[in-house]
Structures are given as C-alpha cells and as structure tokens.
Chains A and B, each alone.
Chain A
Amino acid sequence: MNAVLYLVPIALTLGAVFGAMFAYAALSGQFDDLDDPPERMLRE
C-alpha cells in the first residue's frame, strides 16, 4: 500500500501538467471555433 504514498504526488504532477496544457490551449484560442476545422479538413 505504500505505493500510494508516491503515486498520489505523481498523479498530482501529471494532473498539473495536463491542466497547464489545457489552459494554454484554451487561452490561445484552440477551442474558439469547433465547427469549422473539421469541415475544412474534408474540403481539401
């Protein structure tokens, strides 16, 4: 069970990394338009 003692901090770190990536993606406008990019892909 002692694995939990270091698995929890690892999970937290991973979570923080993913959270930061999500925040970066959202703030740089990647979620602003969800309708067009899929259409555009089909048009080429």
Chain B
Amino acid sequence: MTPLSPATAPSRAERTDAPGVARCPHCGTAIEGAEDAFCCPGCEIAAAIIRGAGLERYYTEREAYAPRPEPLTAAWAGVPSEPRPDGTVSARLVVDGLRCASCVWVTEKVLERTAGVAEATVSYATGRATLRWDPGRVDLSTLAARIAALGYRPRPLGVDARPDRGLLVRLGIAAMAALGVMGLYEGIYAGWWYGGMDTRFAALFRWTSLLLATPVALWCATPFFAGAWAGLRHRMLHMDVPVALGIAVLYLHGVWATLAGRDGYLDSLTMLVALLLGGRMLEARGRRRAADAATALAATTPATARRARGDRLETVPADAIRRGDLIDAGAGEELAADGIVTEGSGQLRMALLTGEAAPVLVGPGARVVAGATLLDGALTIRVDAAGRDTVLQRMAGELRAAADAGTRPTPADRIAPWFTGLTLAVAAATLVVWWVFRGFDAALATTVAVLVVACPCALALAQPLTAAAALGAAARRGLLLRSSDALLALNDITVVALDKTGTVTGGDLRVVSADDATLRLAAGLERYSNHPIARAIVVEATRRKIPLPRGEGIREIPGVGIVGWVDGKHWMLASGGPGVLRIAAAGVPAREIELADTVRDDSAETVGALEGAGLEVVLLTGDHGDVAALVAQRTGISEVIAGADPAAKRAAIERLRARGERVLFAGDGINDGPALAAADLGIAMGSGAASSILVSDGVISSPSLTPLLAGVRAARAAARVIRFNHLQSILYNAVAIAAAAGGLVNPLVAALLMPASSAVVIWGAARIEPMVRREER
C-alpha cells in the first residue's frame, strides 16, 4: 500500500541548508529569505490549522514533510454516508499522502477537534479514515477541505470487502477441538502401546472425542460440503468433492467405531478440517487485501463544474450538468462534460483518454471531452453530453459490462475427477477382495482406511497456501493480484504488451532540460500556482535543492502565461512551442525550459529483465509513431504498435492471442480498458483511470514497472512449488492407498502419515518468499 511511502522523508540533518536559504516549515520546500517564511499561502493555512488545534507537537515529531496543500474542488454532497441511531452520520475516505505516523496523528486530531465531529479515526496501515459527525453542525465537504488544507488528499471510498468472520470462528473452533481430540487419542494410542486400557477410560476418551469432533464435522466443515454439493450440481468434480467425501467417511466411521467400542480416526478428522480451513482463511485474506487496495486506488473524487447562470457562475456537482449548459473550466481543472468550446483557449491533456502524452491546444469550435485536464488557459464550453452520456462514462460502462469474472479450474481441480474415480475404484476393489478372503468386518475396516488416507488434504491445501504466499510476495513488491487465477495466468504469460503513457512513462510532464538559473526564475514565478506545469517546475527545483526566490506582482494571464518580478526584473513565462516554456525579460536573452513525459527510471531495466525471463515485450500505444519509437528505443523494446485507438489496441491483443500467445497487457487509461479486458491478464496502473482499475486482474500500486517483474517471479516460483506439491501429495496418496488396501493402516498410522504430507505443503509455501528474493539478487 502506497500512502505511507517514505520516499520523500527528509532526514533531520537535511534541514540545515546554506545561509540565506530557509525551508517552508510545513512542506519543506527550500525558499530564499526569512527563516520560518512559508512557501505558499496553502502551507501557511495548514500551519494555522495545526496550531489552532493545539497540535504543534506534530512539527517536532514527524518523520516526513507534509505534501504541499492543493485546493480541493469536489462535490462531496453526493458521497454515500451511513446514518447512525444517535443522529450522527458516518462515512469512509481514503487519504493519500500520509507519510508517517505523525501525519496520521495530526489528521486524526485536527478532525477530532473540528466542531461537530463525534469520532475520527485514520488507519496508518491502509490510509483509510472513518468519520462520524453531526450533520446539523458540520458536513463532509468541510471535513474533506480540512484534510486537504493540511496537504493530504481525501477521496471518498466505496464499500470495502468485509472479512469473513464466520470462517475465522470455524477455524478457531476446529483448531481447539483438534488439540483436544489429539490429546485424548494420544492417551488411547498410549493404551495400545502398554497393551490395554481400562475400558471405562477408553470409553470416556472415545465419547469425549466424538463430542468434540461432531461440531467440527457437522459445522466447521460445512464450507467443504457446500462446495462439493455446488460442484456436483454443476457436474463438476472439483477438489471439494474428494475432501468432503473423506470428511464424511471419517466422521461416519468415527460414530460407528465409538458406538462399537473401537478406535476411530477422529484425531485425523479434526486436524484435517483445521488445516483445510486455515488454507481457506489465508487465501481469503490475501484476496480481500488485494480487493481493498484496488478499491482504494479506484476511488475518485467526485467532480464539480462551474456553470454559467445568467451573469454569474455557480459551482455544481458534475452530474447536475445538463445538455446545453455553459460551463467554465480553469487551469488545472478536469472537464466535467463533453462539449464544444465557445470561448477561450488552452492546452488540454488527454493522456488517460487517448494515450497521447503531449497536450493539445484547443480554441473556439474545438470538441472537448470530459476527463481531459486543462493545463493552462480558461475555456467556456457548451455542453452536448453530460453525466452518463459522456464519452468517458460510456467507455467505462462498456468496460464494466465486458468484465465478467469466470473462475478457471485450478490444476488441482483438473486432477480431482481422476483422483476421486481412482480412489473409489480402489476402495471398491478392496472391499470385494477383503470380503471374499477375510469376511465383512475386516473388509469394512480396510475400505474405510483406504477412503481415509485417500482424503487429499495436501492436494487441496497445495493451491491455496502456495497462492496466498505468492500473492503476498507480489503485493509486498507493489503488484496486487485479485485472485490466484490471475497468479496462474501470470505464470503462463508469453507476451507482455505495455501501454506507453503512464505505464512505460510517468504520464506527467517533467522538466527534461533547463539550467539551474532558469529553473530558479521560473520557480519563483510559479511557486504560488497549482498549474500542473508550475508543479513540475517547483518539483524539479526542489529536487535540485534550488531555493525558491520570492516573486513579486505575479499575475497569471490565462492562455498566455505568467508575469512577475524576480531579482528586480519583470519576467514573462510563456509557451514557446510544444513542450517548451520560454522565460524572458527586457534586455535579457530568452531562456528555455523543456518539458516532456519521460520514461520511468526503471522501465528499461524491467523490460530487459522481462526479456531475459523469456518474455516478448511489445509497446502498444495510442501516441504517434515517432514518440513511440523514441520511447521504445530508450527502453529497448523492439516491437512497437503505435497510433492505436482503443479498438485497435484490443485487435492487436486479439491478434497476438490468435497466434497462440498468452498476453499480459499493462495500461492506465480509459482507452486501455478494452485491451485490459481482452488480454489473458490485464494489469492496471494504480495512478490510472478508475475504470481501468476496475476491469483489471491486478493493479500496480507503485509508480514503477518493477512490480510486474516481481509478479512474474512470484508466479513462477508458485507454479514450481505447486507442481512439486501436487506430485508429492499424489505420490503420498498412492503409497498410502496401496498400504491401506493391504491392511497396513490403522488410526495411529493415519494420524502420523496425513499431517506429514500437509507439513511438506506448508514448507513449500514458506519457500516462495526466499525463492523470489533469491532471483532479485
């Protein structure tokens, strides 16, 4: 989970800088001038809020600077909240940018000390905030604005997957009963050893064991019976069928043995159910974590728009906009509806929609679509499609419809029918042969022994345990896979197709060339602005540790640029062609800053490693051929498909699949959705469009491609371990069944044999993490 990444944590020593340079006390940006000056009004407000709440301690205890606050425009009114019996309402949010425990603490306390808030908790582990407030005194948008004012970014959260508490209770009860029965049966086996046991105690121990085993077999094991029944109804003999059969035989024999005054297999029964439930539990937990993380990544802030009503503008939620309305959009804002520009001009970034990284200059008459971000200038748009009718929402809707989740049978499920058939055949043969030669009594005991040792506990555990370990190993490295199916699919992949913008590249404009002096001037002009280009410049200046000078008389001229005084000269910063900013003042030669969407630092290395792992890497992009070729050359990708629209991307994936390849596609945009759904395995970028995250099989939660490689390694390690475990457990079952058919198995032998095979499975799962780690070296 990313919200707590310590990447930007300053060390305490770093706070002392060259003379004449100070750091903004809130966000830590270097600035020229007086000690304790703030870099921007946002940080000043944040500090005032923190002081106002009496939480100054935050500044001395935190381990990381806060992010720079940015204004929050969002329609929080429509966010679902839950009414409570005491008249308060509650809602859950995801908060981005929480970097340390003190950030969590200060956010929680500021909210708690806001009038009208009944309860506020912020989770350090997941970055989620749970709020409960009195709707008569405060509203959610006020609370969200408080969080945003501190520099953290709140987003409303949908419903999280609830942990299956029932499964935990089943596991706990089964484990307790297993311990009890094991102890009692140890007494019984000791009785065998010493040649007989007082019949009173033997009866007490057997009946007590039956008493303990009954809830285990009849209640704790119901998930397996339910699974087996569902499988049989669909005429599918999957793994639950032989497991349920084994549990039923064990229990029925136990009841019969206890009534007849003999020893049963009740210790094996309870142990088996506890182990199997433990496997289920681990699998469910891994799946839930991935789902929660994906929900958080897909949570988007509800958009607002400024609508013209007569002479004035009103701010309304995006879904209140109707066809024919006139809406205004300013620099840095996302368009809320599709329409035609009537006035103004500016540069639009449409990377998530078209995959094209370079912004497009639009003016009156141009068609624009919802979801595009206006980088500079200002537009008035006559809306011709709003709400669900926008291109964005139509694409997202189609994707949701296309993403049907059919689970694939696991390798163990493919073995199950053969296994069950063979077991039943051997059991029947045993019954007949022993009945003919030794009589019914011996035949029954031997047949039960066959059915008992045939219970494929290890075989059933191999998949979920190993998959849970591998999913965990991948998640720790930034790849969240939704299911073990996705893990198995990842192991089979032969071609990795990568989207360019936002996947191989960072997706945001970054300064690629500028000298320090130029950057310093530009940063001085831009430090108070929230424009994406301004942010890129300030970020680069901060990275190079250039103190931000104080600009005076700064004015933004929409659609043109920004002017102001720095170092006694009047500068103008304006666009100097695509991807170039020009800064000039009277009597000084103009200087240039070049901005571009750059290749991620680790992309080339990851591409090389993926190819080294025997995978073919393809660049699949909606951007122009020359841009794509440049990125391909920088990363060492040999195959490029450029200029592809969403349909063409899907067609390209389908062509690869028709060739017999198994395709992984990683992308981040709305335009990548069809390709994500068409690929054998679709991986979305966590920073990407919500709809792409929702249709994907997995999400990369860090801004990097390396998690893909870690995922491939984890999947391959898991496949190796699962193969080995299947082999060893089948071997075990074969030997055990043969021994049982020969009459060599009694309850004690079964109690020793059955956990041994499961222990090997558990050992295998524990080896996944070291196996992945070894490959990383």
A interface residues (Cβ-Cβ under 8 A, vs B) = 1, 4-5, 8, 11-12, 15, 18-19, 22-23, 26-27, 29, 31-33, 35-36, 39-40, 42-43
* Chain A nearest CB, measured from B662 CB (Å): 36
Nearest chain B residue, comparing its CB with the CB of A28: B165
- Contact string against A for B residues 157-168, beta-carbon threshold 8 Å, 1 for contact and 0 otherwise: 000001101101
Query: Which residue of A15, A23, A31, A39 contacts B124 across the interface (Cβ within 8 Å)?
Result: A39
B125 at the A interface (CB under 8 A): yes
Question: Is the beta-carbon distance between A19 and B172 smaller than 8 angstroms?
Answer: yes
B101 at the A interface (CB under 8 A): yes
Query: Which residue of A8, A15, A18, A27 contacts B169 across the interface (Cβ within 8 Å)?
Result: A27
Question: Is the beta-carbon distance between B172 and A36 smaller than 8 angstroms?
Answer: no
* Chain A nearest CB, measured from B515 CB (Å): 45
Question: Is the beta-carbon distance between A23 and B173 smaller than 8 angstroms?
Answer: yes
Chain A residues closer than 8 Å to B226, beta-carbon distance: none
CA distance A18 to B180 in the complex (A): 13
B198 at the A interface (CB under 8 A): yes
CA distance A33 to B92 in the complex (A): 15
Chain B residues closer than 8 Å to A5, beta-carbon distance: 200, 204
B176 at the A interface (CB under 8 A): yes
Chain A residues closer than 8 Å to B166, beta-carbon distance: 27
Given A19-B176, A23-B173, A43-B101; A29-B165 close (CB under 8 Å): yes
Chain B residues closer than 8 Å to A39, beta-carbon distance: 101, 104, 124-125
Query: Which residue of A19, A22, A32, A35 contacts B163 across the interface (Cβ within 8 Å)?
Result: A32
Some 25 contacts from A to B, beta carbons below 8 A apart, are: A1-B198, A1-B201, A4-B201, A8-B204, A8-B205, A11-B180, A12-B211, A19-B176, A22-B169, A22-B172, A22-B173, A23-B169, A23-B172, A26-B165, A26-B168, A26-B169, A27-B169, A29-B165, A32-B162, A32-B163, A36-B123, A36-B124, A39-B125, A40-B124, A43-B105
CA distance A35 to B169 in the complex (A): 20
Question: Is the beta-carbon distance between B180 and A15 smaller than 8 angstroms?
Answer: yes
Question: Is the beta-carbon distance between A8 and B208 smaller than 8 angstroms?
Answer: yes
CA distance A22 to B162 in the complex (A): 19
Chain A residues closer than 8 Å to B169, beta-carbon distance: 22-23, 26-27
CA distance A28 to B336 in the complex (A): 43
CA distance A36 to B168 in the complex (A): 19
Nearest chain A residue, comparing its CB with the CB of B167: A26
Question: Is the beta-carbon distance between B125 and A35 smaller than 8 angstroms?
Answer: yes
Chain A residues closer than 8 Å to B123, beta-carbon distance: 33, 35-36
B164-191 with Cβ < 8 A to chain A: 165-166, 168-169, 172-173, 176, 180
- Contact string against A for B residues 525-552, beta-carbon threshold 8 Å, 1 for contact and 0 otherwise: 0000000000000000000000000000
Q: Given known contacts A27-B166, A33-B125, A39-B101, what 16 new A-B pairs fall within 8 Å (CB)? A: A4-B201, A5-B204, A8-B205, A12-B212, A19-B172, A23-B169, A23-B173, A26-B172, A29-B165, A31-B168, A32-B163, A35-B124, A35-B126, A36-B123, A36-B124, A40-B121
List 5 A-B pairs, minimum CB-CB distance, nearest first.
Answer: A35-B125, A39-B124, A26-B168, A43-B105, A23-B169
Given A26-B168, A39-B101; A4-B204 close (CB under 8 Å): yes
User: Which of A1, A23, A26, A32: most chain B Cβ within 10 A?
Assistant: A26
* Chain A nearest CB, measured from B563 CB (Å): 46
CA distance A35 to B168 in the complex (A): 17
Chain A residues closer than 8 Å to B204, beta-carbon distance: 4-5, 8
Chain B residues closer than 8 Å to A35, beta-carbon distance: 123-126
Chain A residues closer than 8 Å to B205, beta-carbon distance: 8
Nearest chain A residue, comparing its CB with the CB of B125: A35
Chain B residues closer than 8 Å to A40, beta-carbon distance: 121, 124
Question: Is the beta-carbon distance between B104 and A12 smaller than 8 angstroms?
Answer: no
* Chain A nearest CB, measured from B170 CB (Å): 10
Chain B residues closer than 8 Å to A36, beta-carbon distance: 123-126
CA distance A1 to B168 in the complex (A): 37
* Chain B nearest CB, measured from A16 CB (Å): 10
Chain A residues closer than 8 Å to B126, beta-carbon distance: 35-36
Given A8-B204, A36-B125; A43-B104 close (CB under 8 Å): yes
Chain A residues closer than 8 Å to B162, beta-carbon distance: 32
B107-139 with Cβ < 8 A to chain A: 121, 123-126
